[in-house]
Structure 1
Amino acid sequence: NTLAGNVGLVMWQLLVLSVFFQQGMRHVTEVIANMTAVERVMQYTELDEEGPFHTDINSKPPAGWPDQGRISFDRVSLKYDDAPVLRDINLIIEPKMK
């Protein structure tokens, strides 16, 4: 029957087209991701050049420095995008503390 053959052919072509569409979307996504990477590299090339690093050879820190390595956070808040993820964190890490 010709009608059944035509229906089968149309269904087969629709299946093939859906595969092509999926592959096309995958390629478009990859191109967008790669262009984002290229944009980042271009932004890095446009950054202002930092000044040269100068240090005085005769400059030395004080004799007892550092005598203790203490880290202290007082009411620290951190945000990811616009939403706060940590609020008013207080933390003290004493010297030699693990």
Structure 2
Amino acid sequence: ATYAGDIGLMITQTLSLCGIVQYGMRQIADTFAQLTSVERILQFAELEREGPYESDDNFKPPATWPDRGEITFDHVYLTYSVDTAPVLKDLKIVIESGMK
């Protein structure tokens, strides 16, 4: 004969086991995510260093640069996306030499 208490214990233990398995799977997923972060850090540490921020004096443009030329935008319309109305309309922008 099976006792009701034994069946209740079996159900309780089964539900507990399901919770433990879920917790274990979550811990494994978190561990993989953290290991991926560590892998990225190691890859970043192995990157070749960039040159200095400041240019070498031999390669710097003169203080008056640019001393000639200009960039002109004439009748320019700007939108946020292709299917929307222009936000800026019929712009004319001239960037002259020496402007910074």
**Which TM-score tier does this pair reach, normalised by the shorter chain?**
0.5 to 0.7
Distance in 2, Cα, partners of 1:95 & 1:26: 58
TM-score of the superposed pair, with normalisation by structure 2: 0.56
Seen in structure 2, the aligned counterparts of structure 1 residues 51 and 6 have a Cα distance that, compared at 3 Å, is: same
Instruction: String of CA shifts for 1:25-79, please: whole Å, max 9, x gaps.
Output: 111111111110110000000111223342438614322465347xxxxxxxxxx
Aligned residue pairs total 72
2:26 and 2:67 map into 1 onto residues whose CA distance is 61
2:66 to 53, 62, 72: 62
Q: 2 CA distance for matches of 1:31 and 1:65?
A: 58
Q: How high is the sequence identity, in percent, across the aligned residues? A: 35
Q: Residues 43, 4 of structure 1: CA spacing in aligned structure 2 closer, same or farther, 3 A cutoff?
A: same
Per the TM alignment, residue 20 of structure 1 is displaced from its structure 2 partner at its CA by 0.9
Greater Rg, structure 1 or structure 2? 2
TM-score, L = length of structure 1:
0.57
Q: Greater RCO between the two (CA within 8 Å, min separation 6)?
A: 2
1:3 is matched by which residue type in structure 2?
Y
Question: Where do 5+ consecutive residues of structure 2 fail to align?
Answer: 74-90, 94-100
